[in-house]
Structure 1
Amino acid sequence: MKQFILKYNNSVFYFFLLAIALFPILPMGVESVLMFSGFLFSLLYFIVEGKNFWTKEKTIQLILFSSLFLIFTFSLLYTNDVKTGIKFITRLLPTILFPAIFLFNEKKIINTDRFSKITSVYCGAILLVLIYLNIVLFQELYISSVKFWDFRQFIEIKTKVHGTYLAMWVGFAIVLLLYKIKNEILSAKKYSTIFLMLFVIVYFFYWQYVIGSRMPFLATIIVCFFCLFKNLKQMVLAAILLVFLSALLVLKMDRIGERFGKLKNYDFTFPEGKYEDNYPNISNEQIRNGIYFCSYQTLKQEPFLGYGVGDVDAKLQSCYDNTFTNTDTYKVTNYNSHNEYLNIILSAGILGLILFLLSNFYFIRKAVSRKSGIYISFISFVFLNFCFENILSRHDGVVFFSFFNSLLFFQYNNLNEKSTN
């Protein structure tokens, strides 16, 4: 057994990363099996060889990667609903498992070539998801006039993924493809491959428009603009291209265009009336107004340590029930804070948010010091999406964040060949 582990650890580790990169098309159960299997195999390797290379720095890194898990676990000490809290932090296990898989290994496994193949598998999985949606939703897309939210429901039923998370996955695939063109293909002058990848990028942007999630769309545009180009000339050309593409997707179009258009005449009002009868007149902005109002009112009462991870949703629901008595909108659907930073404050207070941001500052500092443009892009992309969604409250968001945060961090550490800037 020992000889098998030592001989095949490199190959098995790489296989698990390739397989997990398919998570956009994998059932949750398969993702979990792959994740835990990869962790257990790395753990066995660590038991055999780990004492020879484990360092204090690795211990610190594991703590920093799992900071949110540790912060929320501490909040269980003062939460009332411990059962709900445990369910929540169980979803955060990938924030420990993924970095541990890398930390338990000594060998330099993720070089430039392997990193490129892993990210290509991910982009291919995204492409398969969108082609599948194109086929099964052909009538709704091109023939019938389906309302935006009804269409979003069709997408979420078919993929079993919330639209915001799917749009976020697609957005980061766009960023990865642009880096591939810039770093791998452009220098090789493979113009046919460049044309094909640009076509895929346009197709991905089209699906961001179809899905209609504003923040992933904007985050993609912002990250592409600020992080992918090295000089002023490139940034100006990129700005012209991205502005043109954004205008094409937004102006005088339904779905995402309609949603951006509503922001022109933003009205700070709240939902009114029975949701079943009045839902066509209740906007997403009105619902979010109520969410952020109650989030602010609730956090004011326990700003330093929060309520504990198990009690946040109950506290918000109590505010909804007591404040919005003229509508059942917040009873028909349970709404979380729709902002990762607010969720951390509500769960673990301002102190918890500060600790989380400090731990992530370590990764930002490492990315900047290494001049790793793709890692900076990822961190920027995720933290922008944190502003309007509890990304780390769902399995899909935790797996996405944990997998790529670990892959990008350790890919640079294990690089033998050339920079990924």
Structure 2
Amino acid sequence: MKLNNYKYLFGLESGFSVNSLFLICSCLLSMFPILSFGIRSILIAVWGFLGILCLIKNYSFPRIIDKTDKFIIAFLSISFVFLIFSLLYTENIPDGVKRLLRMFPIVLIPTIFYLNKQVFTKQRIDWITNLFCLSVLVFVIYQVLCLGFNFDILTNDLSIAEIKRNNLHHLSNISQDQIQQVKIRRLRNFITKLVDSHPIYQGLWMSFVIYFNYHQLKFRSHSVLQKIVKIFIICLMLFWMVLISSRMPLIATFIAGIMTMILFKYYNLKKVTLLGGIFLGCFCILLVTLKPIQTRFIEILDNIFILPTTGNDIYNYNSTNVRVGIYYCSGIVAKDNWLFGLGIGDVQENLSNCYDQKIGAEIYQWKDYNSHNQYFFFLLSAGIVGLITFLMFLIFLIKKTFLIEKSVLFYFVLISSIVFITENLLSRSDGVLFFSLFVSLILLSTNDINKCHETLDG
């Protein structure tokens, strides 16, 4: 195939202009799951510069931003602006600036995409979405293969080092639940070190890929081979989410999937109820047959209202009661600073002080535990106004997805909003890039100037 044919395939212009370079960088940006953090930072800087050049090149300068654009950009930025404003009364300004820089893509990426909306045709946006899904598939397959070559991670007995590190007694006195708990940690630590990405963020990406492939199976015609491939991708994503114990993304997948099907009227209530029953039945089967899932489920039921106790023995803490302690302290600190918040630079210090004074468990001294809730983060950082503006932004996105009738993008907002309950997604590169990328696609799909720019049919 000639070079020009490849350019046409990717929706590029005939020559390698600024537009073409910007589009190439946009496609590379969508493949962030397989890029290192250093490459991501460089790519964002280059992409942003090319986006500004592209904007100036394609429009006469006085008409770059019209009234509608100003409104969209202002609405997109308002919650971030309140975080910046909180620097005026925060004491730890360096930490606040560092956190703002980490979150800056949430404003930069959608703004650059939106202001260059004329460049992004339906074909180009489809490529961006498909390349993201492809990169997640490559990302998961790589981990599965690495685990296959290191399968003893799942089968080996606990080592002496693990027994000591988890403060357990002699192996003969350790229950099977405790052994499974340590093995789950072992697997998650292996995966995190292998790809430098937490299972929660992986689960969020995979959740989107699952629904995207399901949506294509339902609403687009495919050959038998293509259908088999897409079913394989869905099953692989579900398998990996279960294996790495990505609990909240699994819950979000179930809730968001059912709600999307109901609200977009893909099925009537009877079929949705049947589908929900099937999903619930599958979960019960997994709960009975897979010990790691059973262990996690029992852990949640037994510790949902219990705080970790003093000491670092494994009997005193687990992932559930550690989170209970985090939310307990987040509530205490928020109650005392609900109006204006603490300022973005002082949130972590105040939470750490609460862990030490109100709970006293040693596990909170091992590392800094943030609020593990994006809504709490905005409340603690910028007060009630910061939280309200963030909620308004999410409502704005949901409303837009209904107006443009894009169920895939509605599903994205819903799974993100659900996982926000247990994670500060916008505080890490994996989360902020995912959220920023698909917020951008929502804004691009609302282009009223050229309806052919819409994407993600259905």
The answer to whether the superposition gives a TM-score over 0.5 is yes
Alpha-carbon separation, structure 1, partners of 2:131 and 2:315 = 40
Match of residue 117, structure 1, among 96, 113, 127: 127
Q: Can you list the C-alpha shifts for 1:247-292, whole angstroms capped at 9, x where unaligned? A: 34333423333212323334522222421xx125522121112111
Q: Can you list the C-alpha shifts for 1:122-154, whole angstroms capped at 9, x where unaligned? A: 122112111211222221465435611121111
User: Residue 141 of structure 2 corresponds to which residue in structure 1?
Assistant: 131
User: Residue 235 of structure 1 corresponds to which residue in structure 2?
Assistant: 272
How much does 1:234 deviate?
4.7
Which moved further from structure 2: 72-81 or 60-69? 60-69
- Normalising to structure 1: TM-score of the pair? 0.91
Alpha-carbon separation, structure 2, partners of 1:192 and 1:237 = 28
Alpha-carbon separation, structure 2, partners of 1:84 and 1:309 = 8
Give 1 or 2 for the bigger CA radius of gyration: 2
Taking a change above 3 Å as real, the CA distance of residues 140 and 180 of structure 1, as seen in their structure-2 partners, is farther
User: Residue 23 of structure 2 corresponds to which residue in structure 1?
Assistant: 14
Alpha-carbon separation, structure 2, partners of 1:23 and 1:268 = 38
8 Å contact kept, 1:119–1:176: no
Structure 1 unaligned residues grouped into runs of 5+: none
User: Residue 306 of structure 1 corresponds to which residue in structure 2?
Assistant: 341
How much does 1:385 deviate?
0.4
8 Å contact kept, 1:76–1:308: yes
- Normalising to structure 2: TM-score of the pair? 0.84
SS across alignment from 1:333? coil
Percent identical among aligned pairs is 30
1:148 and 2:184 correspond: yes
Which moved further from structure 2: 64-73 or 398-407? 64-73
SS across alignment from 1:406? helix
User: Residue 285 of structure 1 corresponds to which residue in structure 2?
Assistant: 320
Alpha-carbon separation, structure 1, partners of 2:348 and 2:156 = 37
8 Å contact kept, 2:309–2:316: no
8 Å contact kept, 2:341–2:382: yes
Alpha-carbon separation, structure 1, partners of 2:80 and 2:315 = 39
Moved over 6 A (4+): 4-7
Alpha-carbon separation, structure 1, partners of 2:237 and 2:294 = 16
Q: CA RMSD in A?
A: 2.3
Alpha-carbon separation, structure 1, partners of 2:208 and 2:259 = 14
8 Å contact kept, 2:326–2:371: yes
8 Å contact kept, 2:203–2:249: yes
User: Residue 315 of structure 1 corresponds to which residue in structure 2?
Assistant: 350
Taking a change above 3 Å as real, the CA distance of residues 361 and 256 of structure 1, as seen in their structure-2 partners, is same
Alpha-carbon separation, structure 1, partners of 2:104 and 2:422 = 23
1:65 and 2:76 correspond: yes
Q: Can you list the C-alpha shifts for 1:315-364, whole angstroms capped at 9, x where unaligned? A: 01111111223x31111121111111111111111111011112332222
Aligned residues: 411
Aligned residue identity for 1:344: F
8 Å contact kept, 1:46–1:104: yes
How much does 1:170 deviate?
1.4
Match of residue 44, structure 1, among 43, 53, 56: 53
Aligned residue identity for 1:250: L
1:407 and 2:444 correspond: no
8 Å contact kept, 1:206–1:249: no
Match of residue 295, structure 2, among 258, 266, 275: 258
